[in-house]
Structure 1
């Protein structure tokens, strides 16, 4: 008989975090719990320290990508570039280079992928919207909700491997403890 791996605490925390995001989505008209759920899954790590690290990178990437995407849509509209055409797509692709480089300059390389994902989500999925800032804003807010929920779940529930939690130390700094 084959011994199957057990369902781990990280899996259970991820499911709980996603469920909470979906329930919060019901309370937020205009919100898209899809993005909260994705952020919750990605930010739920085996320990609180890992969740904080991933959450910070996701926050930076989401804010950069959302702001750049919103700016790009307004710039394209201002230049009269037809939405979702070859020119639109070419300029979006070219805009990725300075956006990626910005994460390097800011010393936030781990945030590069999410910066690009959010930028592309805003500029491609909603490039033809009449009010592009509304999607960008909701996209950022929903992602931040998912990050916050994942951090809360990981902080409040018992630790996984290593049993790490955070506690206040001298100077009110948060640090992991066992």
Structure 2
């Protein structure tokens, strides 16, 4: 792995996130310094800096992690200092004890690290005075509370745009895959064309994963967010994704079956022509579903507002030796219809 990959992100965090972190850190420092005179309010500043996260939900989780970690770490530091005295090696012992306590209670990695860091800072910067310990806990809580308020009030981000983009791309490519498979069923295919068709179908998987991750991020950005006007929009995108995901599986399976059982006489089978027509209709209805949800990257002028899938396809047993492939395609087509039309 390149060193730069570990040090640099693929993209910058939003400037607004930097501004919120700066405002929360400076505000927590000034407020804690005013309310609790004494040492520099380092604990408040650190708490505020760590608690400001991309979403209110993440900030709340980080606030709990920070608060519990500091309280436990400070208590461990004070107890060890009272028992063993102000020795320099007590700092090292406190770190080890804090890590063991976190491990014993199965604390998360962030909470465990916070316990150890807090114990170390109290002993390295402060004393064994219980009042000092209580003040550091209060200072941390001030920083946490101030950061939560800032992150909730200063334009909390609602991450719907990436979800809209990725879901639209998935739906568009899924419809294109249905059209490609329909065209391939009716024409003679070379080995290279079959491999290309299979590769394009498999590329639906990473697009599906990307859309799912974006929708999950959008849902998380709305949790505990006072700006919840986009909640219905994200719920609609989740519902559409749940409809499209099984179709992704069926399309990949149909393409795999076609790849495995292809021969040059397949296009002469009358039932194959009917299946190809149903695939084109399914592709139309996938595009229609994406456009109705208003997430299509580029609406197609060829898409009618009326669904193309009407009566289920009824076929007779094939007269040729293609019955295995046709049976497989028919079953997958039935499942696609069930997702798009609701018929089972």
Q: TM-score range by the shorter chain?
A: 0.7 to 0.9
1:54 has 2:62 as partner = yes
CA change 1:72–1:44 in 2 (3 A) is same
In 2, distance between residues paired with 1:38 and 1:93? Answer: 18
Alignment RMSD: 2.9
Q: What number of residue pairs does the alignment pair up?
A: 158
The structure where strand makes up a greater share of residues is 1
In 1, distance between residues paired with 2:104 and 2:69? Answer: 11
The structure with higher relative contact order (CA 8 Å, sep 6+) is 1
CA change 1:161–1:90 in 2 (3 A) is same
Name the counterpart of 2:15: 8
Larger radius of gyration: 2
1:138 has 2:135 as partner = yes
1:44 has 2:52 as partner = yes
Name the counterpart of 2:222: 164
CA change 1:60–1:161 in 2 (3 A) is same
Kept in 1: contact 2:69–2:115 (CA 8 A): yes
Q: What's the CA shift for 1:74?
A: 1.1
Structure 1 segments of 4 or more deviating over 4 A? 4-7
In 1, distance between residues paired with 2:103 and 2:92? Answer: 18
Name the counterpart of 2:94: 92
CA change 1:115–1:103 in 2 (3 A) is farther
Q: How does 1:45-124 map to 2 (within 5 A)?
A: 45-77=53-85, 83-86=86-89, 88-89=90-91, 91-104=93-106, 107-124=107-124
Kept in 2: contact 1:30–1:138 (CA 8 A): no
Q: Deviations for 1:33-82, whole angstroms, at most 9, x for unmatched residues?
A: 222111111110011011001111111101111111111111113xxxxx
Name the counterpart of 2:42: 34
Q: What's the CA shift for 1:6?
A: 8.0
2:155 partner SS = coil
CA change 1:102–1:137 in 2 (3 A) is farther
* Unpaired stretches in structure 2, ≥5 consecutive residues: 1-10, 160-220, 232-344
Kept in 1: contact 2:98–2:115 (CA 8 A): no
Kept in 2: contact 1:60–1:111 (CA 8 A): yes
Name the counterpart of 1:171: none
1:158 partner SS = coil
TM-score by length of 1: 0.74
TM-score by length of 2: 0.41
